[in-house]
Every structure is written in structure tokens, then in C-alpha cells.
Amino acid sequence: MKPAPFAYERPRDLDAALSMLAASNGSAKIIAGGQSLGPMLNLRLVQPELIIDISGLTELKRADVSGGELVLGALVTHADIEDGRTADVTRGAMRAVAANIAYRAVRNRGTIGGSLSHADPAADWISALAALGARMTLRSCAGARTMTIEAFVVGALESALQAGEIVESIHVPTRSASAHWGYAKSCRKTGEFAHAIGAVLIDPAAATARVVIGAIDTAPIVLTDAAGLFGGRIAADYKERFDAGIADAVLAKAGIDDVVQRHIHVGVLKRAVQEAAA
């Protein structure tokens, strides 16, 4: 199928893009890499009157380390991260996640801001960046606001973006030298969206753990204090202390009734914990 007709604008700078978005009164759609919006337009799942193409906005292509965090513009592509064109404050964690998103052609065009904005439950960044403790800045003509990834993703394909707002940047904290990272996903074949994701950032020295169970039917489950999954405390023996029964109960409480699905999610999370401890 072909998209329904739409007008097209390619603003020169972020202010111009925000003004166009504000003037459209909700009838416009931003396009970044087009990897999700393109198919949705073709299938006529969305029929905007105006497409605002932000792919030329240099303000959204920054990648600097400042104040102990990496600030990535929304237009940084998965391939930019995979290829190391951005600084790596996560000691390889983001690079490995980026390298396993879809296929290279998708990674060349797909952007980190587009992926978060689309809020597909099966997408990688919403889970990985929530586990890494990242935040995002949203900008509109009225100003900017910052929130955590877990506050931003409110449901399947649903985010906290309000009319007139654009994702401007993503702020990733530096991973401490003692923090262990594990990321695992289950896909039917390489390059496909996951049907289970486990992401963990465990710091035995600081006795902290962030755990994310993703690719469920809604927003990922984000446990910012996950000691309960490890017998109530985080220590060097966390791999042995991982409690699959508690993880299963967390999934059941989140409304996942299918035992087989829960089993797959728990298995994938266990793999992430094992990877962190390896």
C-alpha cells in the first residue's frame, strides 16, 4: 500500500521544527529514521496531514560527555553507537545492544530518539536504557522537561510525549567501575524483534541492582531496587541468589497469566544475570 497524501516540511533548525509542530495542532507527525513510521504510513495506520522531517537537524546529532553522563541527541543512530562514533560511558553495554538491533540497514537509519518515541514494548532501547538509569529531555515551544525512561514509556506504543513535544536528548549515566551489566533477549530469528528481554545493572560493591523485564505486552517492568530478586540483598554471590520464583511472581503480578510466557521471560532474565556475573 501507499501512504495517504501528506504535506512535507524539512525545518532548518529545532526551533522551526517546534513551531511547525505547535502550529499543526496535532495533525503533524515527526519523522526521524522512518524505520517505524514508514511502514505505519504505508499501511495507513497513521494518516498525518503533515510530516515534519527532523533528520537534518544538527542540534539533535550531538554526542558529548558532560557532568558524568553521556548526552545523545535524539538523531544518533543505532549504527553510530554500534560503530563507536559516540563516546561509551557504559563500558560496551550500549554498543552491544545497538549491534543486535534488527539488521544493519535498519541500524543505519533508525535513531535512538525515534525508537524511544515509538515505545514498542519489544524494542531494545526502552529496556536497556531503563536498566542503565538513563533519562530523556523533551522539548516544546514552552520549554524543556526531563524524565526517566520508565516514566516516559507508559504502555505499548504509548509515551509521555505531549502534543508539540520532541525528544531532544538522552542522558546516560557513567557506569561505575564495579557495576556488572547483563543483557539477553529471545528472538525467533536474528534481527527480529524480541519476545523476551532481560536487562540488569548490578553493583555488588554498592549493593544495588536495577532489573528490567522487557518485551511484555505493555511497558517494561523496571525494578529500580531489585534486591527482592536476590534473597533481599545484593552481594558478590548474586548469581546464586537469583530467585526464579520471585521473578515469576513479579511477572504474574504484572498480569502475565500465561505460564509458558512467564517461563520464557524468567529464563531470559536468568541469562542476563548469568552474563552480568560472568
Ligand X SMILES: Cc1cc2nc3c(=O)[nH]c(=O)nc-3n(C[C@H](O)[C@H](O)[C@H](O)COP(=O)(O)OP(=O)(O)OC[C@H]3O[C@@H](n4cnc5c(N)ncnc54)[C@H](O)[C@@H]3O)c2cc1C
Report d(CA 167, CA 137) in Å as an integer: 6
The residue among 86 and 117 lying less far from ligand X, judged by its C-beta, is 117
Place of cell 538509569: 133
The residue among 52 and 229 lying less far from ligand X, judged by its C-beta, is 52
Place of cell 533548525: 13
Q: What are phi and psi of 201, to 5 degrees?
A: -125, 105
The residue among 33 and 204 lying less far from ligand X, judged by its C-beta, is 33
Name the residue whose CB lies closest to ligand X: 114
Binding mask 64-83 for ligand X (x = CB under 6 A): ----------x---x-----
Q: Which of 17, 18, 24, 29 binds ligand X (CB under 6 A)?
A: 29
By CB under 6 A, is residue 106 in contact with ligand X?
yes
Nearby residues of 110 by Cβ (< 8 Å), 6 or more positions away: 33, 35, 36, 77, 78, 101, 102
The residue among 150 and 203 lying less far from ligand X, judged by its C-beta, is 150
Q: Which of 82, 124, 150, 203 binds ligand X (CB under 6 A)?
A: 124
CB 111 within 8 A of CB 101: no
> Which of 1, 10, 43, 15 shows the shortest CA–CA distance to 28?
10
What stretch of H or E contains 276? helix 259-277
CB 261 → ligand X: shortest distance, Å? 19
By CB under 6 A, is residue 6 in contact with ligand X?
no
Binding site for ligand X (CB under 6 A): 29-37, 74, 78, 101-102, 106, 109-111, 113-115, 117-118, 123-125, 161, 166-167, 193
